[in-house]
């Protein structure tokens, strides 16, 4: 559980990391069941959330997850605009902060989907369709194909960055961990970043192919990436390993909710920083 804090931004951030962890845990668990032939599915985040509807108190869980994801969106925006994580204002720092803004928008959309599911106003499908719709819209703009291709390269590069972090990076760099928990948390983080690296590279590849072929129908999200793995030779093994990694990242998210160092600004400080940027 998140640590209690008097700073509302920190509370939102911790709830957000926990909610994101739950989503990844669900996706990983269902994909693993699909890999070993015990049910499950590879439909991505929205389809995974839909499975909660049939569980006891499913609607309440969906509302709580939605609120957590909205909190994560707010934290990402505050983090990016105020540099709460001290990324810096050089090219690399702004790159990370812009990526976090985009991440916030994506999780806000997922939060809306979870809330609509809880209220009986939506379905769990449509993840690929949503990706294809925005890609088609972007392709219709001047230099749209180039922009889609560049986004694909950026997503794939992010995936390679996750893979590098899994191999050589310190997954616990921003965690304030007790010494006896550090090693297994680092192992969880590395497994999780490796799995995210795989799916991000595949999703980036979809976008690049869409740009090359001028077809938005080639774009797929997380579910499409998992299905692609499943369709390869020994696909069930590839899917199972990736699913275990995604489940591990879900657990890592819960650890982040408890132990991540969050230097959240006060609400007034955050407003002042945003106003300064607007000027």
Both tokens assigned to 250? 């879900």
In this predicted structure, what is the pLDDT of residue 88? 87
In this predicted structure, what is the pLDDT of residue 2? 44
Question: Is residue 95 a part of any domain in this protein?
Answer: yes
- The secondary element (H helix, E strand) that includes residue 69 is helix 58-82
Of 96, 53, 56, the residue nearest 76 (C-alpha)? 96
Of 223, 31, 42, the residue nearest 127 (C-alpha)? 223
- Domains of the chain: total: 1
Question: Is residue 21 a part of any domain in this protein?
Answer: yes
Q: For residue 197, what are the domain limits?
A: 8-273
In this predicted structure, what is the pLDDT of residue 89? 84
What letter would DSSP give residue 217?
Answer: G
Question: Is residue 89 a part of any domain in this protein?
Answer: yes
Contact criterion met (CB below 8 Å) for 41 and 47? yes
Query: What is the C-alpha separation between 113 and 32, in angstroms, rounded?
Result: 23
Question: Is residue 279 a part of any domain in this protein?
Answer: no
In this predicted structure, what is the pLDDT of residue 92? 86
Contact criterion met (CB below 8 Å) for 204 and 138? no
Query: What is the C-alpha separation between 248 and 252, in angstroms, rounded?
Result: 6
Write the DSSP assignment of 24-46 as a string of letters: HHHHHHHHHHHHTTSS-----HH
What letter would DSSP give residue 52?
Answer: G
From first to last of the 279 residues of the chain, give the pLDDT tens digit.
Answer: 444 566 889 999 999 999 999 999 999 999 999 999 888 888 889 889 989 888 888 899 999 999 999 999 999 999 999 988 888 888 888 988 999 999 999 999 999 999 999 998 765 456 788 889 899 999 999 999 999 999 999 999 999 999 999 998 888 888 999 888 899 999 999 999 999 999 999 999 999 999 999 999 999 999 999 999 999 999 999 999 999 999 999 999 999 999 999 987 766 655 555 555 555
Query: What is the C-alpha separation between 163 and 157, in angstroms, rounded?
Result: 10
Helix (H, G, I), strand (E, B) or coil at 112: helix
Report in angstroms the alpha-carbon separations of 243 from 213, 229, 249.
30, 10, 10
Contact criterion met (CB below 8 Å) for 240 and 36? yes
């Amino acid at each position: 559980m998140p640590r209690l804090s008097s700073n509302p931004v920190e509370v939102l951030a911790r709830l957000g990391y926990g909610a994101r962890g739950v989503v990844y845990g669900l996706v990983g668990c269902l994909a693993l069941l699909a890999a070993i032939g015990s049910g499950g599915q590879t439909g991505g985040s929205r389809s995974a959330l839909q499975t909660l509807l049939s569980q006891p108190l499913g609607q309440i869980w969906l509302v709580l997850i939605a609120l957590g994801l909205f909190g994560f969106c707010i934290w990402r925006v505050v983090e990016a605009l105020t540099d709460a994580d001290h990324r810096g204002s050089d090219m690399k720092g702004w790159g990370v902060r812009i990526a976090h803004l985009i991440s916030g928008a994506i999780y806000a959309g997922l939060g809306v989907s979870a809330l609509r599911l809880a209220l009986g106003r939506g379905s769990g499908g449509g993840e690929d369709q949503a990706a294809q719709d925005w890609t088609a819209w972007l392709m219709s703009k001047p230099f749209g194909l180039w922009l889609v291709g560049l986004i694909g390269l950026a997503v794939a590069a992010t995936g390679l960055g996750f893979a590098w972090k899994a191999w050589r990076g310190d997954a616990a760099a921003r965690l304030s961990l007790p010494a006896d928990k550090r090693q297994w948390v680092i192992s969880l983080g590395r497994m999780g970043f490796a799995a995210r690296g795989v799916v991000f590279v595949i999703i980036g590849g979809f976008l690049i192919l869409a740009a090359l072929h001028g077809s938005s129908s080639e774009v797929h999200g997380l579910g499409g990436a998992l299905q692609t793995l499943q369709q390869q030779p020994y696909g069930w093994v590839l899917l199972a390993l990736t699913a275990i990694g995604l489940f591990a990242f879900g657990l890592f998210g819960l650890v982040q909710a408890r132990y991540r160092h969050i230097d959240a600004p006060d609400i007034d400080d955050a407003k002042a920083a945003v106003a300064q940027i607007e000027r």
